[in-house]
Amino acid sequence: MAKKHVPSTKRALEAAARKPRSQHYVLRLYVAGMSPRSREAIRTVTAICQEYLASRYELQVIDIYQQPALTKEEQIIAAPTLIKKLPLPLRKFIGSMADRDKVLVGLDLRPKEP
pLDDT digits (tens, 9 = 90+) for 10-38: 454 444 444 546 799 999 999 999 999 99
Q: Pairing state of beta strands 25-31 and 57-63?
A: parallel
- In angstroms, the CA 15 to CA 12 distance is 5
pTM of the shown model? 0.78
Percent of the chain with pLDDT over 70: 81
Q: Enumerate the domain spans of the chain.
A: 23-106
Instruction: State the burial class of residue 29 (Cβ atoms within 10 Å of its Cβ: 0-12, 13-18, 19+).
Output: buried
- Give the chain's mean pLDDT: 85
> Cβ-count burial of 100 within 10 angstroms (0-12 exposed, 13-18 middle, 19+ buried)?
middle
- Tell which CATH architecture fits domain 23-106: 3-Layer(aba) Sandwich (3.40)
- Rounded to an integer, the average pLDDT of 59-83 is 93
Cβ atoms of 30 and 80 within 8 Å: the answer is yes
Which residue(s) pair with 60 in the sheet? 28
